[in-house]
Amino acid sequence: MQMTIRKPVQISGVGLHTGCRVSVALKPAPEDSGIVFRRVDLQGFRIEAVRRHVSRVVLATTLMKKGVMLSTVEHLLSALYGSGIDNVFVDIDSLELPILDGSAGPFVELLKEAGVKEQKAERTFLRVVREAKLSDGEKWIKIRPYPAFRVSYEIEFSHPMIGLQKLDLHVTPETYARELAFARTFGFYSEAEDLLKKGLIRGGSTDNALVLTEDGLLDGELRAPDEFVRHKTLDLIGDLSLCGHQILGHITAHKAGHALHTDLATLFSNSPSLTRKVTESDLSQEGLAVAL
């Protein structure tokens, strides 16, 4: 069945790129609402978290509707999708989500505080029915049929703390919270000055990102040796949520990023030959059970 949260909850912080203070309140939403952002600083202007509103994918995923922008949405969307939340209102008083500690962990904890409420309407899934691949040079993403939501991600950087990292995970609320939510965003110190000149990462610090020097970290320690690929997987899940449905299929990504992630969300939304919408009743009749 579809899920929303049981009670309103709130969190605040600074935007990674704007550096502005921002408050976010999550509130229960009716069945079939999906995830809806409401800019309370702009008379509650609504921006639905769907692929057609994606406007930019440089260093973060940005939504825009009728000229109203909302940036760095991927960590919250990832937490909601990974936690199995279908419907929620997200009230926000600025143009960028707070970066918090750079992971989805604080959002997952916020959802635990809110609790989960089962609704009366059935959940609809997008089931992958045939293989497909998206490529951009050496970057690519493949999809293939699979009876659950499975993600395999591979990254490679010429840095001694990263190198080649791989992760393969069957994603459920339990595995998401345990294996992915804690993983923080990362960047390279050598690129920081240029990004600041472009008006980006004004709220960035070692408190909310892993900052890599030539041979190590600028400050702090890793939460896991492969925290980097875990964060990329977290980002992928947030971007895929923009297709509007939970996915049944195996996603394999190689050196991908926000652009390919959101292209795949578009493919899921606009290619009926690749996917088929199925309800929980459909799956039950086929003798399948989904762990969500």
Residues with catalytic function: 258
The H or E element that residue 188 is part of is strand 186-188
Number of other residues whose CB lies within 10 A of the CB of residue 165: 18
Residues 158 and 55: their CA atoms lie apart, in Å, by: 30
The number of angstroms, rounded, from the C-alpha of 223 to the middle of its chain's C-alpha atoms is 19
Terminal Cα-to-Cα distance of the chain (whole angstroms): 10
Residues 149 and 175: their CA atoms lie apart, in Å, by: 11
User: In a 10 Å sphere around its CB, with 0-12 CB exposed, 13-18 middle and 19+ buried, how is residue 242 labelled?
Assistant: buried
Task: Give 174's contacts (C-beta < 8 A, 6+ positions apart).
Answer: none
Task: Give 282's contacts (C-beta < 8 A, 6+ positions apart).
Answer: none
Q: Which of 230, 253, 252, 226 is nearest to 163 (CA)?
A: 226
CB 251, CB 240: distance < 8 Å: yes
